[in-house]
Amino acid sequence: MSQATTHIETIEGEYNLNNYDEIRENFDWSDAKALLSAAKTGKINAAYETIDRHVDEGYGDKIALHYINEGEKRSYTFKEVKDQTDHYARILKRHGVTRGDRVFVFLPKTPECYIAILAVIKVGAIAGPLFEAFMEDAVRDRINDCDGTLLITDQQLVKRVPKKDIPSLETTLFVEDIEKEPLQPVDGDDYVEWVDWEDGLIIHYTSGSTGKPKGVLHAHRAAQHHIVTGKWVLDIKDDDVYWCTSHPGWVTGSVYGLFAPLLNRATVVIQGGRFSAENWYSLIEELGVTIWYSAPTAFRMLLSKGDLYKDYDLSSVRHVLSVGEPLNPEVIQWAWNSLNVRIHDTWWMTETGGHLIVNLPAEKIKPGSMGRSFPGIQVGILDEEGNELPHGEVGQLAVRTPWPGLMKEIWGNQDKFKSYFQYKGWYISGDLALQDEEGYVFFQGRNDDMINSAGERIGPFEVESKLIEHTAVEEAGVIGKPDELRGELVKAFITLRSGYQESEQLLEEIRLYVRKNLSAHAAPREIEVMDELPKTKISGKILRRQLKALEIERANKVKN
C-alpha cells in the first residue's frame, strides 16, 4: 500500500478547559459509566437517563428543547418533555407495546419526533426512527426487515407508508391524535421499563456496497459512550444551547442530536424546514447557539454565500463540530477567518454508535485530519492480512473491540455482522486511512463501493435495483462521482431496453422514478446511457470501479 503525505499545518486551540493528556492517560470506560445514574441505582433505561433523571435531580424547569420552524417557536422544559414522553408511553402501553418490540417513528424534525423516540425507549421497546424524506419502498423495507409492530407518524407522512405489504405492522398512531388526548398524572416511574445494558435501544438502517440497507442495532449500554463523548467532545456545559442539524433518522441526529446532549442536560435546538443559509444564521443569532454540530456539505454551502455571515451576530458560537465526510482544510480556514471558531472534525459510523476519532476542544487541529482516537479507543491501520502498518502508510481503518457504543448486531444478518470482525480483536470500518506519528488519522477513501453524498451513506445496489425496476432500464451501475459541494454525487450508468430511445425526458422520468419510490437523496443526479456496461469476464458482475475510474479520469481532464 502506498505512502501518502500528511498535512503539517496546525491550528492551536485558544482555550484549555480540561487536561486531556491526563484523561487520555488514565481513562477507563467505567469513568463513562459513572456519569450515569445507573451507576448508582443499578437500573438502566437510556430514556430515563436522558430526561427523567434531570427532573429527579432538580432541573425540571430547565429548557430541554427549543423548536423553530418558519416563524413557529416552541420550547419545552425537562419536566414538560418528561410529561410528554410519559403521555406517549402510556398510549404505547395501551396498544400492547412491550420490551424488545420494534416501534418505528416516521416524523419530520419536530419535538414530537424526539418525544416519540424517547417514549418508545422508555417502555423498553426498540426505536426505529425513519428519515422524513423516505418514500414508500424505503419505509416498507425497513419496517419489514425487523418486523416492526407499531408506527408513530403524522397525517402527511402516512401518505408514504404502504397500506399493504407490511404484515407485522399492527398499529399506526398519529401524533395529531396523541396530542389531542389529555395528559394524565403519573405515579412515580410507572412507564419506565428497567432493562439490561444489552437490551436493544435503537435500530438505524444504513447502506453498504451490497444488498439492501442493514438494521444496525444498538444497546442501552451505548448511553455510556453517548454521555462521555457529549461531555468531552461536544464539550457541553450547563449554559449551552446546542444545535445538531441532522434528523434523528440518521445516527448523528439520534446520538448527537438527542441522546448525548440531553444526557448532559444541554438545551437542544430542533430546527424544522429545509436548509437555507439565512435561516441557519438567523437561528444561531436568535437562540444564541453555543455549540453547533453539522456536516462539511452544509459548511461548504455557507462558505459559498460569502460575506452573508456578516449580517448576523454569531458571537454566541464557541464550539463547532463536523461529521460524515471529509472536512476540507479550506472550510476549516473559512470558519477560522470568518466565524472566529475552529471546526472540530469527528469520525465514526452508524455501526460504531458514537465518536471514535475526534478533535478534542483543547487539542491541536491538523486540517485534513479527522483527529485522534477518543480516550479508551485504540485505532489501527491494517494491511490485507490484518497486520498493523507503520505510521504514514495507507491501510484499512480498524478499531480495537469492544467499546460501549459498538453495535449489538445487524438485525437478522449474523454473516454481515461477522464480516466487520474478520481480524481477531478488531472492528473493520471499510474506510482507508493513514495515521501519523502523533496519532492523527487522515481519511483516504472507502475500501468498497459505498457512496457518500453530502454526508449521507448511499448503497449503490439499492439504487441500481430501483433503476432496473423502471421499464426502460436494462442494466444499471451506480457510483459516487466526485463533486465539490457534496463530496460525491450519485451517478448512474445505464443501458436501455430495446425499443427505448435516449431522451432528456426519459432520463428525467427514470430519475423521478427513483426519487418517488426510494428517496430524494438516493436518486441519481446524473444518468448516462451506455451501449454496454463494463463487467467482469467470469461472473458478469458490473464493474463499478471501472465506471468510477472513468469519472475520475474525466474530472482530471477538466482540471488540467
Which residue, 38 or 458, is less far from ligand PRX as judged by CB? 458
Stretch that binds ligand PRX, among 143-151, 266-274, 427-435, 519-527 (CB under 6 A): 427-435
| Pairwise CA distance, residues 88 & 181, whole Å | 10
Q: Closest Cα to residue 170, out of 93, 99, 95?
A: 95
CB of 78 to ligand PRX, least distance (A): 26
Q: Of 478, 529, 554, which Cα lies nearest the Cα of 210?
A: 478
Binders of ligand PRX among 354-373, rule CB under 6 A? Answer: 370
Q: What one-letter code names the amino acid at 476? A: A
Q: Per the structure block, which three cell numbers stand in for 414?
A: 449474523
Please say which residue, 60 or 405, places its beta carbon nearer to ligand PRX: 405
Q: With residue 400 as reference, give the H or E element that holds it.
A: strand 395-400
Q: Which of 359, 373, 452, 519 binds ligand PRX (CB under 6 A)?
A: 452
- x-marked contacts with ligand PRX along 230-269 as a string, rule CB under 6 A: ---------------------xx-----------------
CB of 31 to ligand PRX, least distance (A): 23
Instruction: State the CB neighbour count (10 A cutoff) for residue 401.
Output: 13
Q: Hey, what's the cell of 416?
A: 454481515
Which residues on adjacent β-strands are paired with residue 357?
347, 373
Give the three cell numbers for residue 315: 458571537
**Of 107, 323, 432, 523, which lies in the binding site for ligand PRX, with binding defined by CB under 6 A?**
323
Q: With b meaning 16 or more CB within 10 Å and e meaning fewer, what string describes 208-224?
A: beeebbbbbbbbbbbbb
Least distance from ligand PRX to the Cβ atom of residue 353, Å: 9
**CB of 490: closest distance to ligand PRX in angstroms?**
15
- DSSP secondary structure letter of residue 420: T
350 in contact with ligand PRX (CB under 6 A): yes
Q: How far is the CB of 244 from ligand PRX (least distance, A)?
A: 11
Of 148, 261, 326, 361, the residue at the interface with ligand PRX (CB under 6 A) is 326
- Nearest of 117, 69, 163 to residue 262 by alpha carbon: 117
Does 451 engage in binding with ligand PRX (CB under 6 A)? no
Q: How far is the CB of 452 from ligand PRX (least distance, A)?
A: 5
CA distances to 216, 376, 558 from 219, rounded to whole Å, are: 10, 19, 48
Stretch that binds ligand PRX, among 124-132, 225-233, 234-242, 343-351 (CB under 6 A): 343-351
CA 236 to chain centre: 19
Reported as type and span, the H/E element at residue 226 is: helix 222-232
C-beta of 429: minimal distance to ligand PRX in Å? 5
Beta bridge partners of 206: 214
Q: Give the residue nearest to ligand PRX (CB).
A: 350
Among the listed residues 101, 431, 462, 551, the single contact to ligand PRX using CB under 6 A: 431
Site track 475-504 with ligand PRX (rule: CB under 6 A), x = hit: ------------------------------
Task: Select the residue interacting with ligand PRX from 131, 348, 420, 513 (CB under 6 A).
Answer: 348
Q: Tell me which of 77, 85, 206, 264 binds ligand PRX, using CB under 6 A.
A: 206
Nearer to ligand PRX, 347 or 411 (CB): 347
Q: Report residue 303 as a C-alpha cell.
A: 462558505
Q: How many residues bind ligand PRX (CB under 6 A)?
A: 21
Please select the residue that binds ligand PRX; options are 54, 446, 481, 548, rule is CB under 6 A.
446
End-to-end CA distance of the chain: 27
CB of 544 to ligand PRX, least distance (A): 16
Does 325 bind ligand PRX (CB under 6 A)? Our answer is yes
Least Å distance, CB 346 to ligand PRX, is 6
177 in Cβ contact with 194 (< 8 Å):
no
Contact with ligand PRX (CB under 6 A): which of 104, 347, 403, 427? 347
Residue 74 grid cell? 416552541
In sequence order, the 6+-apart residues with CB closer than 8 A to the CB of 125 are 92, 97, 98, 99, 100, 101, 102, 103
Give yes or no for a contact between 448 and 209, defined as CB atoms under 8 angstroms apart: yes
CA distance 413 to 163: 27
Q: Where are the alpha helices (DSSP H) in 386-438?
A: 414-419
> Considering beta carbons, is residue 326 or 375 the nearer one to ligand PRX?
326
Q: Which of 109, 226, 344, 457 binds ligand PRX (CB under 6 A)?
A: 457
Nearer CB in complex with ligand PRX: 104/443: 443
Nearer to ligand PRX by C-beta: 153 or 452?
Answer: 452
Inter-CA distances, 349 with 108, 127, 232, 464, Å: 23, 18, 18, 23
Q: Does 324 bind ligand PRX (CB under 6 A)?
A: yes
Q: Which stretch binds ligand PRX (CB under 6 A): 164-172, 382-390, 424-432, 511-519?
A: 424-432
Of the listed pieces 108-116, 330-338, 345-353, 376-384, which binds ligand PRX according to CB under 6 A? 345-353
**Shortest reach from residue 348's CB to ligand PRX, in Å:** 5
Nearer to ligand PRX, 263 or 527 (CB): 263
**CB-wise, 76 or 443, nearer to ligand PRX?**
443
Closest contact distance (angstroms) between CB of 350 and ligand PRX is 3
Q: Long-range contacts: 50-57, Cβ < 8 Å, 24+?
A: 50/118, 50/223, 50/258, 50/259, 50/262, 50/263, 51/78, 51/81, 51/82, 51/85, 51/118, 51/262, 52/82, 52/85, 52/189, 52/192, 54/78, 54/265, 55/79, 55/82
Q: Choose which of 205, 443, 461, 493 interacts with ligand PRX (CB under 6 A).
A: 443
For 306, the grid coordinates are: 460569502
Contact region for ligand PRX (CB under 6 A) — 3-11, 69-77, 428-436, 549-557?
428-436
Q: How many residues does the chain have?
A: 560
Residue ranges that bind ligand PRX, judged by CB under 6 A: 206, 251-252, 323-326, 345-350, 370, 429-431, 443, 446, 452, 457
